[in-house]
Amino acid sequence: MKPALVVTHVVPNSQAQRLEVVAEGSVIEEINDQKVSTLDQLRKIIRASVHEKFVRIKTSDGIFFVLSLPKSLDEAEKLAEIYKYPVSPFIK
């Protein structure tokens, strides 16, 4: 079986949820025009993009959307506090 990045949850009030373009079960195929199939690949690309303003995401359904990276990082801690889940060490 080939690895895949499957969306298991979309946090309420997050950029992704407000855009209404990705849902549970969506498969993330590309981040910033680079193919991804594992969390390690995703993290590596995001780390390399930390100084960029946007993250470009493409799903296996051909849906393309862009998130503000600074806004995503800023809201991650706020949403974690509101919805009572731990912030990933990757975000800190």
pLDDT tens for residues 5-23?
Answer: 999 999 999 999 999 999 9
Determine what percent of the chain is predicted with pLDDT higher than 90: 73
Summarize pLDDT for 22-39 with one digit per residue, the tens: 999 999 999 999 999 999
Q: How many domains does the chain have?
A: 1
Residue 91 lies in a domain: no
Give the domain range for residue 57: 5-83
Rg (CA), the chain: 13
Q: Is the CB of residue 66 less than 8 Å from the CB of residue 16?
A: no
Residue 89 lies in a domain: no
Residue 15 lies in a domain: yes
**Terminal-residue alpha carbon distance, the chain:** 32
**Confidence at 92, pLDDT banded by 50, 70, 90:** low
pLDDT (0 to 100) of residue 5: 97
Q: Is the CB of residue 50 less than 8 Å from the CB of residue 69?
A: yes
Residue 90 lies in a domain: no
Residue 38 lies in a domain: yes
Residue 20 lies in a domain: yes
10 Å CB burial of residue 79 (0-12, 13-18, 19+) is middle
Residue 92 lies in a domain: no
**Domain CATH code at residue 35:** 2.30.42.10
Residue 45 lies in a domain: yes
